[in-house]
Chain A
Amino acid sequence: MMLFPRLPRTHALAALGALLLAAPVVGAQDPTPPGVTIGLNYRPGTKPGVLVLPVTGAAGDSVRAILMRDFDYSNRLAVIGDWRRPDEAPVPVGAAANYPLYARLNASAVVQVSVTPSGLTVSMHDVAKQAVARTRAFPLGAAPNSPEWRLALHAVSDELESWITGQQGIAATQIAFSRGGRIYTIHSDGAAMRAVTDGRGIAMMPAWHPSGRQIAYSVMGDAGTQVLIRDLASGAVRRISSPTGANVTPAFSPDGQTIFFGYAEERGMDIYAVPLGSGARRQVTVGRGTDNLSPAFSPDGRRIAFTSARSGKPQVWATDVDGGDPELLTTFNFGDQGERTNPDWSPDGRRIAFQSLVRGQYQVTTLTVRDRNVRQHTDVGVNEDPSWAPDGRHLAFSSTRGGSQQIWILDTETGVMRQLTTGGGKTRMAAWSPRLGDPAAP
């Protein structure tokens, strides 16, 4: 309760559903009759019910709680039961499959897990067909409850989610952020927080390499702010930018071959591209003395969205990666005092998230690329630096809504939010990793 002061509404509903047995889980307008969604492609607005049977053996309760929580945090599934009370299962341990009971509990899918010496074996029951739809072994490798084990288990959740909804989950991801001048990473479920940098200078603005194995960030020292790349496994650090000036907001190209960032010495800030192999630095934007920063790649790697103050107040623009065809994306009227900054292009390419100044406070806002529909997603506190999850649906962002500045997760479809980090002072500049680790290949 302390860790998650704002319970997603789905918990209460799922618990209620479990109590009332046949009550619909996501509200009266849910047209889905129980037990017909498995194997169908995911449709927005419908949430198949999933029941995770009790898991016996070492770390069985942890396995069950983690799977249930991952399904819950996906916001795509209605989890039956409460992952905070893994000992309270609505069906007895080791009971034979009871499809009428599963159907009464509103489960479309039932997950049955056995712990094996090398990991897990998972069977997925299709309640409508009253049969096992799929069984697969997942090696977990590392010691139970270690960060590596947890990440491997999250990858199992993501795979199971794709069995049910057709969409791979985002549990096996991490969020990087800045706190107290250091970069940290944390698993998507709020566990396994780890400091990545050593605390020299003020490290901020983390960005993931598409491999998930490196993080670029800026470090502010007395002589200026530099862009560094750190290898997460070895800790090796490489400086990419010039030793002086302001070098900020790094972003890797989707092919992982180039890094873009804002660089200013004495004539305003422009975005530059630096190849990670060999090759010279190249100027991308032509700001003519204005500030241009915060590049965010389109998933095809051909364009970037970025912040530019070339029209006065900072706004979100887009341009080809060679600097051609610059275009103002956010609405701008002459005399407009609004500011729209820090764009992030969704992995499906359809939307751009950014922060928009509304009555003196930044709010997380999205824009559809094709028809420029703008939607404001937050209105409590200061909400900044949105970063898309690999599913193009969830956003990590910093928010003061709980008092101090912390990282929160928003499901842009349902509006459900949860707090990811707690304590430790000003926590900001979230960057959502790509999917990490092979989703447990057999």
Chain B
Amino acid sequence: MIRVARAVPVLALTLVAMSACRRQQPETEPAPVEPAPVTVDSAAIRDSIARAEAERRAAEEAAARAERERRLAEARATFAAPVYFDYDSSELLPDARAALDAKVPLMTANAGLRIRVSGHADSRGSDEYNIALGQRRAAAVKRYMESQGIAADRVEITSYGEERPAVEGENEAAWAQNRRAEFEILAGELTNIGG
């Protein structure tokens, strides 16, 4: 960006200088058959224009690359975002389905991806039962992804029960954050943001 900023004024100055030269020609003089551009259309200026053009293209590419990176980061965040559940339930809520609907095209666009879905529970309920509940949550996510065309062998599931809370605390805000399924990439890379 710094290079672009510096290149623009140089180009502008050159163009101003060219038009100024033209305007200084006296009107009484007969117009020359051939313009005398040799004095202004120098190799240096051609180089400068080419350089500016290259730099503009590079800047555009950099901007496009930054945009791609931004969208990729966004896609990775979309992919990694947990989905949340109601208390003692493995039913996919509308928000969870929407979150999964955003992940599925990424799985489709990145055929090499293999992932692990881990189910978690809040601290209520027995520690033992919560492992079963977490497993059921992860399985519900996997089943939904399968129903959306993702091959079963690309999705591994596990449960951490209430052993790895996202948020510590014994209140509804903490519990709601902890009743979740998380997504982790086991193999492959998310490089294609798809459609």
Contact = CB atoms under 8 A, between A and B. Distances in A.
Interface in B92-114: none
A294 B116 CA distance: 26
A307 B159 contact: no
Given A202-B163, A342-B126, A248 B132 contact: yes
A225 B128 CA distance: 11
B131 A225 contact: yes
Contact of B132 (A291, A360, A384): A291
A262 B124 CA distance: 20
B126 A355 contact: yes
**Interface size range on B against A:** 20 to 34
A307 B129 contact: yes
Interface string A276-296: 000000000000000101100
B165 to A, nearest CB: 12
B127 A266 contact: no
Contacts of B116: 222
A205 to B, nearest CB: 6
Interface string A292-320: 01100000000000010100011000000
Given A222-B158, A223-B158, A225-B159, A269 B132 contact: yes
Given A267-B139, A269-B135, A293 B129 contact: yes
A291 B88 CA distance: 11
A291 B133 CA distance: 8
A156 to B, nearest CB: 37
Interface string B132-143: 111110010011
Contact of B128 (A244, A249, A266, A268): A249
B87 to A, nearest CB: 10
10 tightest A-B CB contacts, nearest first: A291-B132, A269-B132, A266-B139, A246-B135, A341-B126, A264-B135, A246-B159, A224-B158, A246-B131, A249-B128
Contacts of B133: 291
A294 B125 CA distance: 14
B82 interface: no
Q: Is the interface of A mostly helix, strand, loop or mixed?
A: strand
A220 B131 contact: yes
A138 to B, nearest CB: 40
Contacts of A262: 128, 132
A381 interface: no
A440 B157 CA distance: 51
Given A220-B163, A266-B143, A266-B157, A248 B136 contact: no
Interface in A345-395: 355, 360, 362, 384-385
Contact of B127 (A223, A244, A269, A428): A428
A228 B136 CA distance: 22
B160 interface: yes
Given A222-B158, A291-B136, A248 B126 contact: no
22 contacts: A202-B163, A220-B161, A224-B158, A225-B131, A245-B135, A246-B158, A249-B128, A264-B136, A265-B139, A266-B139, A291-B136, A293-B129, A293-B132, A307-B126, A314-B126, A339-B125, A341-B125, A342-B126, A355-B126, A360-B124, A384-B126, A429-B127
